Amino acid sequence: MTAAQFTVLIFQGLTLGGLYAMIGAGLALNYGILKVLQLAHGEYITYGAFAAIGAIALFPNLPFPLVLLLAFLACALLGAAAQLLIVERAMAHRNEVVAMLVTFGLAVVLRDSLAEFAGADLRGLSVGSLAQANFTIAGITLGVLPLVSLGIALTSFLLLALLIFRTRLGMEIRAVSDMPDIAALVGARVKRTHIVVAALSAGLAAIAGVLLAMRSSISPYSGLDSLLIAFEVVVLGGLGSIRGVLLAGLLLGMTQVISTWADNSAGLFYVHLVFFVVLVFRAKTGKLQ
C-alpha cells in the first residue's frame, strides 16, 4: 500500500465513521436520558432522508442548509409528537420493556405508512455538482461531499455537547436523566424535558438520514439496517455516552473501509465481527460499558 492509498483509506474511514456516529447519536441521546430503547430510530432516519428528498423535489433551488434544517425540524416534530402522545404514557409504567415494545409498534406503523404514501422504490438525494467535486492535496485527490458529510457530523456532535454541558436546558436534561424524581421536586419540568430530548433525538436521526441519502440509495424499509448500525455504535461507545458514540462510529467506519480494501466481498461482516468481539471481551472482564 502506498502512502497515497493509505491517506485515501483513512479519509474514507473517517467520513464513513462520521456517518455511523451520526446514525447512533440520536439513539444514544434517547437511551442515555430517557432510558428508552427507541426502536423507531431507524424510521426517523428514513423519514429524515425522505423529507430532504421531498423538499428538493418541491423546491429544486433550495439551499442545502435549509434542506437539512427542514429535515431536522420535520423529524423533531414527529419525535416530539410520538413522545407526547405515545411513549410518555408507556414510560409511566416504569418498565423499559413496555416502552420498548411501544416504540417497536411505532416503527412498524411509520415504516408501512411511508411505504404506502411514498412507494417502496429506492431513492437518493441529489446534491448536484457537489457529488463530483474534489480537491487535491499533495497530489492526492479527495472528494468534497464526504468531507462536507464529516463536517456536518462533527458540528452536530459539538453543538450537542455544548447544549448538554454548557446550557441551562442541558443542566435540566442531565438532572432529569440522573434523578428524575428529585429534579421534579426542585422544579424541573420532567415531561417537557422528555419531549425536548425526543425531538432532539429524532432531529439528529434526520440529519443522519440526509447524510445517508447523499451517500447511497434509501427506501422506506432501510430503517432496520440503520437501527442495527445505530445499536452497535451505541453499545460499543457506551450506553448514553456522546463522546463514546463518536469514537465507536469512527472505529466501525475505519473497520469497514479497511476490510473492504482487503476483501471486496466483506461488506459489513468485519464491522459486525468487531462488535461481537468487543461484547465478548466486555462480558469476560465484566466491563459492559
pLDDT of amino acid 286: 57
Each residue's pLDDT tens digit, 172-214: 888 888 877 777 777 778 889 999 999 999 999 999 999 999 8
- Taking a C-beta distance cutoff of 8 angstroms, is the pair 17, 177 a contact? no
Q: What residues contact residue 9 under an 8 Å CB cut-off, 6+ apart?
A: 1, 257, 258, 261
Question: What's the rounded mean pLDDT across residues 222-232?
Answer: 92
Domain count, the chain: 1
Q: What are the angstrom distances between the C-alpha of 127 and each of 54, 64, 131, 148, 223?
A: 13, 8, 6, 11, 22
Q: What are the angstrom distances between the C-alpha of 134 and each of 15, 20, 75, 129, 174?
A: 14, 22, 31, 10, 42
If DSSP codes are grouped into helix, strand and coil, which group holds residue 104? helix
If DSSP codes are grouped into helix, strand and coil, which group holds residue 267? coil
All cell numbers assigned to 205: 436521526
Say yes or no to pLDDT of 289 above 90. Answer: no
Domain of residue 177, residue span: 3-285
pLDDT of amino acid 51: 94
Each residue's pLDDT tens digit, 152-177: 999 999 999 999 888 988 888 888 88
Each residue's pLDDT tens digit, 252-273: 999 999 888 888 877 788 888 8
pLDDT of amino acid 52: 94
pLDDT of amino acid 199: 96
Euclidean distance between CA atoms 78 and 102, whole angstroms: 15
- Taking a C-beta distance cutoff of 8 angstroms, is the pair 204, 25 a contact? yes
Q: Which has the minimum average pLDDT: 47-51, 64-68, 116-120, 248-252? A: 116-120
Residue 214 belongs to domain with CATH number: 1.10.3470
pTM of the model: 0.91
Closest CA to 22 of 150, 144, 196: 150
Q: Which amino acid, residue 222?
A: S
Burial degree of 289 (CB within 10 A; 0-12, 13-18, 19+)? exposed
Q: What is the DSSP letter of 130?
A: G
Q: What are the angstrom distances between the C-alpha of 41 and each of 16, 62, 100, 164?
A: 19, 27, 11, 20
Tell me which of 125 and 66 has the higher pLDDT. 66
Band (pLDDT 50/70/90 cuts) for residue 131 is: low
The H or E element that residue 172 is part of is helix 168-178
- Taking a C-beta distance cutoff of 8 angstroms, is the pair 16, 194 a contact? no
Euclidean distance between CA atoms 1 and 57, whole angstroms: 43
User: What is the chain's mean pLDDT, rounded?
Assistant: 87
Euclidean distance between CA atoms 95 and 271, whole angstroms: 32
If DSSP codes are grouped into helix, strand and coil, which group holds residue 91? helix
Q: What is the DSSP letter of 128?
A: G
Q: What residues contact residue 272 under an 8 Å CB cut-off, 6+ apart?
A: 232
Question: What's the rounded mean pLDDT across residues 86-92?
Answer: 90
Q: What residues contact residue 73 under an 8 Å CB cut-off, 6+ apart?
A: 203
pLDDT of amino acid 188: 74
